[in-house]
A and B are shown apart, each in its own frame.
Chain A
Amino acid sequence: MNNIILGRYLEGNSVIHRMDARAKLILSFYFILIVFLCNNWQTYTLLAVFTFFCVLCSRIDVKYFIKGVRPLIGLILITVLLQLFFTSGGHVYWHWGIFQLTSFGIINAVYIFCRILLIVFMSTLLTATTTPLEIADGLEALMRPLRKLKVPVDEIALMISIALRFVPTLMDETQKIINAQRSRGVNFGEGNIIKQAKMLIPILIPLFVNSIKRAEDLAVAMEARGYQGGLNRTRYRLQKWHTVDTVAIIIFGGLTLLLLGLRG
């Protein structure tokens, strides 16, 4: 589990770490949208330079971001190859059956590669500089208007925050169950797929049963502590909108205008 870099929080105290989670969430979504504005090398260069600037601002090692791309390499390769061999138009360099290598194809493949890379970098930046809890709080704040549509935003937020809080606890428990079953002679990771899937049963069943027991205990404890539902609770954790956040939004606005201007 330790080699999954994607989505992990890295402690730090950079400008980006200190930004408000709501601003970071909005801007990350917005970034994904403006990536699609790019359609020539000027715009891609501009966006790449901008992304690199953001990465520098976070004071996180670039190597970390490159590692974050690694698990996605298969996906990127497939997309790029599909673009490369199945795009028609422009000068045809090479041709074999349904496969063809064209100038349009090459350009498109490079663009797609850049697009995915930029999006992965930016979302890694979001998760690396924001704790899961801040992300949950930010999402809740952004979902708040949905209350008018009778969406139980507070309950969803509480569920997310409890889920996040129990992730390490359940991981620990899973490991304990695996070890306990191993000590009783179950061999994990051997045999064919069906055999391996069957071996998951002695892990999954106790894990489910324990989770239900935990949920019961937690519900009783919450009720004993006066929890009556999401509405009308005050908040201990507060989110603060800083000047940095406003500045960041202005920068993104300027970036959008530049992109629109450079767009071919």
Chain B
Amino acid sequence: MTAIIKVKDLSYAYDDFKLGPLNLTINQNEWISIIGKNGSGKSTFARLLDGLIEADTGEIIIDGLKLNEENIWKIRSMIGMVFQNPDNQFVGANVADDVAFGLENRQIPHAEMVQLVDNALKMVDMSAFKHHEPDKLSGGQKQRVAIAGVLAIHPKIVILDEATSMLDPEGRRELLNLIHQLKNQYHFTVIAITHDIDETVDADRILVMNNGQIIMDDNPSKIFTHDQQLLNLGLDLPLTEKIKKNLAEDGIQLSEDYLNEEEMAKKIWELSSKM
């Protein structure tokens, strides 16, 4: 696996908040979920990666390029960011315009732009809404448009900065499924920042942040076994862990390891057939 993001001794201070020093490597095609309670530095970290804020010390290397004054626009053109509030990131007057915004900034010729916009809208299944204005779209649809805008520039890295937090459960699930599917198709790296631990169960790796530090960095099944520690950090547990805990209180012991929903169903099935 090749590394796409390398972070060395990165630190950033703001008022009385201090981030880092962080050291981290993210590989190509990985899905990284970053969790942590409010103010743990997740969004600050994402903004540092995109050069939207400047680090105090340390360096960030993205796809072999060091993040500095000179490379910043090159690096930004590799990173697509989707933010939390679907309304506040909609720049264009209608859907097609908004998707084209990033392309206009990259001086893509008009003929090519028309194609790229159409393709991107097709990817997120929003072609039928091409000429709709933002106030006629739902939150989930606006986030789809934001993703189309990001995909149109063919990014190597997609950062979702709590992109699903203002959507209803169904819209959230749909959007995450869509991104999973697009990731497999177009092979980009995803960094997903979230509060919702259920969103992290499909990640390749989870980073848990607290007080500006990465305190855990592992695959989900390992992370979720630290259930007490997660609860102490003010984080929730994934559904299967909660079920396991409740069953344990009733004297039914499932496995020590983390189980996803399928494995858990199987385990319960085995148990009940033994009884």
Q: Are B104 and A235 in contact (CB under 8 A)?
A: yes
Query: Could you give, for residues 66-84 of chain B, a 1 whenever the CB lies within 8 Å of some chain A CB and a 0 otherwise?
Result: 0000000100110101010
Q: Is B105 part of the binding interface, using a Cβ–Cβ cutoff of 8 Å?
A: yes
Query: Could you give, for residues 199-220 of chain A, a 1 whenever the CB lies within 8 Å of some chain B CB and a 0 otherwise?
Result: 0000000000000011001101
Per DSSP, chain A at the interface is helix
Q: Are A226 and B110 in contact (CB under 8 A)?
A: no
Q: Are A221 and B88 in contact (CB under 8 A)?
A: yes
| Chain A positions within 8 Å of B85 at CB level | 217
| Chain B positions within 8 Å of A161 at CB level | 92-93
Task: Decide: A225 near B134, CB < 8 A? Known: A161-B93, A234-B109.
Answer: no
CA distance A236 to B47 in the complex (A): 28
| Chain A positions within 8 Å of B30 at CB level | none
Task: Decide: A223 near B52, CB < 8 A? Known: A168-B133, A233-B107.
Answer: yes
Give the Cβ gap from A211 to chain B, nearest Cβ, in Å.
Answer: 10
How many residues of B are in contact with the other chain, CB < 8 A? 40
Task: Decide: A236 near B135, CB < 8 A? Known: A217-B83, A226-B73.
Answer: no
Q: Is A238 part of the binding interface, using a Cβ–Cβ cutoff of 8 Å?
A: yes
Query: Could you give, for residues 219-253 of chain A, a 1 whenever the CB lies within 8 Å of some chain B CB and a 0 otherwise?
Result: 01111111110001111111000000000000000
How many residues of A are in contact with the other chain, CB < 8 A? 28
| Chain B positions within 8 Å of A235 at CB level | 104, 110
Q: Is A164 part of the binding interface, using a Cβ–Cβ cutoff of 8 Å?
A: yes
Q: Is A169 part of the binding interface, using a Cβ–Cβ cutoff of 8 Å?
A: yes
Q: Are A228 and B105 in contact (CB under 8 A)?
A: yes
Q: Are B105 and A236 in contact (CB under 8 A)?
A: no
Task: Decide: A236 near B100, CB < 8 A? Known: A172-B135, A226-B77.
Answer: yes
| Chain A positions within 8 Å of B97 at CB level | 236-237
Q: Is B201 part of the binding interface, using a Cβ–Cβ cutoff of 8 Å?
A: no
* The one of B77, B88, B110, B134 that contacts A236, using a Cβ cutoff of 8 Å: B110
Task: Decide: A165 near B100, CB < 8 A? Known: A217-B85, A233-B105.
Answer: no
Q: Are A224 and B87 in contact (CB under 8 A)?
A: no
Mark out the residues of chain A between 134 and 165 whose CB falls within 8 Å of any chain B CB in the assembled complex: 161-162, 164-165
Give the Cβ gap from A135 to chain B, nearest Cβ, in Å.
Answer: 11
CA distance A44 to B47 in the complex (A): 64
Q: Is B229 part of the binding interface, using a Cβ–Cβ cutoff of 8 Å?
A: no
Give the Cβ gap from A46 to chain B, nearest Cβ, in Å.
Answer: 38
**Could you list 18 further interchain pairs (A-B, Cβ under 8 angstroms) beyond the known A165-B91, A218-B91, A220-B47?**
A165-B134, A169-B135, A214-B87, A217-B89, A220-B52, A221-B88, A222-B101, A224-B50, A226-B76, A226-B102, A226-B105, A226-B153, A234-B104, A234-B107, A234-B109, A236-B96, A236-B97, A236-B113
